[in-house]
A and B are shown apart, each in its own frame.
Chain A
Amino acid sequence: QEGLVATVKEAGRSIHEIPREE
């Protein structure tokens, strides 16, 4: 159907992790 949107939840990390200052 046009316009039907199924939402799938992603529980994992979504973006990179900026390294903590050494």
Chain B
Amino acid sequence: DGALGYVREFTRHSSDVLGNLNELRLRGILTDVTLLVGGQPLRAHKAVLIACSGFFYSIFRSRAGVGVDVLSLPGGPEARGFAPLLDFMYTSRLRLSPATAPAVLAAATYLQMEHVVQACHRFIQASCEP
């Protein structure tokens, strides 16, 4: 009938959804994969991993990836570089320090998270400047 429609946009919605997903992760609710990183088991949701990482996108989107519920990353990132990335995926906040940045950069490169790689390079560059 051509009546003017209205849309109510809840501007906090995406961060509220992410916060709830992080709470589900911390409580192990609906987590569907265990990542063995440096021997340390980390539970996560494949959907979040695939949404955030080109590496996981290529693994879990394939039919073979559907049945995977434990994934070890041999020769992959060390836990101290991977854990901050997993937290970033679920919080949008990437914790970096001069001591951890190289390990996070290596893990982000491995996980094909290009935008985070660039941010790590900017951080390391800034850390080197007097």
Interface of A toward B, CB cutoff 8 Å: 5, 7, 10, 12-16, 18
B115: A residues at CB distance < 8 A: 12-16
Task: Give the residue name and chain of the B residue nearest to A10 (CB).
Answer: B119
A5: B residues at CB distance < 8 A: 95
A10 to B51, CA, bound (A): 19
Q: Which of B23-31, B36-44, B52-60 touches A?
A: B52-60
B39-77 with Cβ < 8 A to chain A: 50-54, 57
Asked if B119 and A16 sit within 8 Å, CB to CB, the answer is no
- Tell yes or no: B87 within 8 A of A by CB: no
Asked if B54 and A14 sit within 8 Å, CB to CB, the answer is no
* Count of CB-CB pairs between chains A and B under 8 Å: 26
State the interface size on chain B (CB cutoff 8 A). Answer: 16
Best-surrounded residue of A5, A14, A15 (most CB of chain B within 10 A): A15
Asked if A15 and B119 sit within 8 Å, CB to CB, the answer is no
B112: A residues at CB distance < 8 A: 16
A13 to B118, CA, bound (A): 11
6 new A-B contacts, CB < 8 A, other than A14-B92, A18-B51, are A13-B115, A15-B53, A15-B115, A15-B116, A16-B57, A16-B114
